[in-house]
Amino acid sequence: MSLYQLIAQFIRLHWRQYVGAGLMLSTIALLTVLIPRRVGSVIDGLVAGRLDQTGLLQELSWLAVMGLAIYFLRVGWRTQLFAASYKLGMQLRTRLYQRLSVQGADFFQQQRTGDLMALGTNDADTIELAAGEAALAGFDGSTTFALVIGMMLLGVDWRLALAALLPFPFMALAFKHITNKIHDASRDSLERFSKLNEHVQESLAGVRTLRALGLEQRSAAQFAELAEQASAASLSSQRWEAAYEPAVGLTLTAAGLLTLSVGGYLVWQGEMSIGTLTSFSMYLGQLIWPMFAAGWVLSLLERGKAAWARLEPVLTQELSVNDDGELHSMPQGELRMTGISFHYPAQARAALSDIHIRIAPGQTLGIVGPTGSGKSSIIRLLLRQIETAQGSISWGGHALTEYRLHALRQAINWVAQEPFLFSASIADNISLGNPDASRADIERAAKLASVDEDIRRFPHAYDTLVGERGVTLSGGQKQRVAIARALLTASPLLLLDDALSAVDTQTETSILAHLAELRQEYPERSAVIVSHRLSAVVDADHIVVLREGRIVEQGRHQALLDLNGWYATQWRYQQLEASLDAA
């Protein structure tokens, strides 16, 4: 879809506002072209002595009324127009947000956050201007131009009109060249702004790292360079937009000279009255607005086309994970992974190969293995953040793809190794998935996650604001707040993706004991615990050991120790390490 099709579609949806604004503009244009003719008539009447004082006052009164009408009509069409065009900006931002909220992880790995933010701000604003000011300024300018030219040709003198219009084709050629330059400059300006936005977003998110490494000055220098480039690109665009004015000025000056030359000759020959020449000169002056409007409209449209060329691919890009299932109810029952094999597009080696896993309701599955063995890939497959073309995953007898994503994710509570906390209070972060939870329920969940005591040490306890991304809290506190958030909702499946990596072994033991207690309250809740520390999966009903994407060992804790393989070796090493730390 092109920008023009988008604007046409929007105008069809909001045709009442545009028709109302168009009628007001048409009335303005009509009154505007009538004023010079009336002024010319008054001048001829005064020269001929046909107009007395009373008649002159009446004519001046009519001119004043027409001027006031134009003023109020201009206020009316602007109010009507912008109320409609702002809706387009809102719709574009809503579409963008909705699209981004359902895109999979693969999409965001290919996109820059700052660029996406720029699309929802700067680019959306530019398209909004194209649908608002450009659409109506184009209508206003073209209507005024057509009426003025019509009056010049038919109402005044066609010979004088043709002479005055001789420079206009040269102006059209200049407009074409300027318009092409504006499109390129606008595209460059939007891209530069996106890079600047991305740098600011990354710098603020990683401000602690920058300070720790002493990189503040280098980051500031990079910002200054990007800001300079963005400013230069924007200035280049503005310079080309400013080029419209000289083109219009030169054209109208040449037209004025031709008008005075030809019109003066016609007056000298007695073929035209002074009032008629005055009217024609006023009409020529009224062409200033249509010419400037043409330049302004072309500029806005080219900027809008550049912005739409950036925004449309994001709005229309296919979802990395399809959401076309027909089951809206939360899945229940046994979870199976059968013959799963998966590899990431950028990697030659498979991340997972021939995985078979069964999780019965109420069971706890432990997944362990060295770094890069595929543990988190299994979690991502269960969450449908990624899809596999080989093998099948079913839950309650139905393939995961048969469930709508919202139903599937409502049935899963997931705690990542690096949990995300919002800029809200601790209580709000814990109750994110269950906003109707009471304070008592929130505090109980925090106790189960062994973070209640830490929270109460803050001056405002549960009402403490955690800052952006939970900057107020330590890594272990953030993990435990995220665990409390997961425990507050009684979903059928709990996924802990190395979610205890930032807590000490004593706290880990306490949390795992509380999870065991919860199994008595929710006997149907299954759990998958991914961990580098084997102590986290000791009590699991079943443990699988991954290595290079394959299951190399599986069974209960004692059975794996008896195998004397990787699990047993790693267990002895971690136990020795723990004893040395305790000493």
Query: Do 541 and 556 meet the contact criterion of CB atoms below 8 Å apart?
Result: yes
Q: Are residue 347 and residue 257 in the same domain, yes or no?
A: no
Question: pLDDT by residue (tens digit) across 454-507?
Answer: 788 878 887 877 766 666 677 777 878 888 888 777 788 888 887 777 677 777
In a domain, 231, yes or no: yes
Q: Are residue 195 and residue 149 in the same domain, yes or no?
A: yes
Q: Are residue 265 and residue 182 in the same domain, yes or no?
A: yes
| CATH code for position 555 | 3.40.50.300
Q: Are residue 335 and residue 311 in the same domain, yes or no?
A: no
Per-residue pLDDT in tens (0 to 9) along the chain, 583 residues:
677 677 777 767 766 777 777 777 777 777 776 666 666 666 666 666 666 666 667 766 777 777 777 777 776 666 666 666 677 777 778 888 878 777 776 677 677 777 777 777 777 877 777 776 777 677 767 766 776 677 666 666 667 667 777 777 777 777 777 777 777 777 777 777 777 777 777 676 666 667 766 766 777 777 777 777 777 777 777 777 677 667 766 777 777 677 667 666 666 766 666 666 666 666 666 666 677 667 767 777 777 777 878 788 777 777 777 777 777 777 788 888 888 888 877 677 778 888 888 888 888 888 888 887 888 888 888 888 877 778 888 888 788 888 888 788 888 888 877 777 777 788 888 887 777 778 888 888 888 877 788 788 878 887 877 766 666 677 777 878 888 888 777 788 888 887 777 677 777 777 777 777 777 777 778 888 888 888 888 888 888 888 888 888 888 888 888 888 888 888 888 777 667 665 5
In a domain, 446, yes or no: no
Domain boundary among 288, 316, 344: 316
Q: Are residue 174 and residue 228 in the same domain, yes or no?
A: yes
In a domain, 490, yes or no: no
Burial class from Cβ neighbours inside 10 Å (0-12, 13-18, 19+) for residue 173 reads exposed
Q: Are residue 303 and residue 202 in the same domain, yes or no?
A: yes
Q: Give the pLDDT of residue 259.
A: 67
Distance CA(193)–CA(233), nearest Å, equals 9
Domain boundary among 293, 316, 339: 316
Q: Are residue 47 and residue 195 in the same domain, yes or no?
A: yes
Q: Are residue 29 and residue 176 in the same domain, yes or no?
A: yes
In a domain, 486, yes or no: no
The residue type at 394: S
Tokens of 31: 């009154």
The whole domain housing 554 covers: 330-410+526-583
Sequence-ordered list of residues with C-beta below 8 angstroms from that of 475, at least 6 positions apart, any chain: 502
Q: Are residue 23 and residue 100 in the same domain, yes or no?
A: yes
Sequence-ordered list of residues with C-beta below 8 angstroms from that of 66, at least 6 positions apart, any chain: 31, 34, 35, 38
In a domain, 432, yes or no: no
Q: Are residue 109 and residue 192 in the same domain, yes or no?
A: yes
Question: pLDDT by residue (tens digit) across 137-162?
Answer: 777 677 667 766 776 666 666 676 67
Number of domains composing the chain: 2
Sequence-ordered list of residues with C-beta below 8 angstroms from that of 516, at least 6 positions apart, any chain: 539
| CATH code for position 290 | 1.20.1560.10
Q: Are residue 203 and residue 336 in the same domain, yes or no?
A: no
Q: Are residue 310 and residue 391 in the same domain, yes or no?
A: no
In a domain, 458, yes or no: no
**pTM of the shown model:** 0.65
Residue spans of alpha helices (H) in 165-243: 168-205, 207-212, 216-242
Query: Do 294 and 191 meet the contact criterion of CB atoms below 8 Å apart?
Result: no
In a domain, 488, yes or no: no
In a domain, 292, yes or no: yes
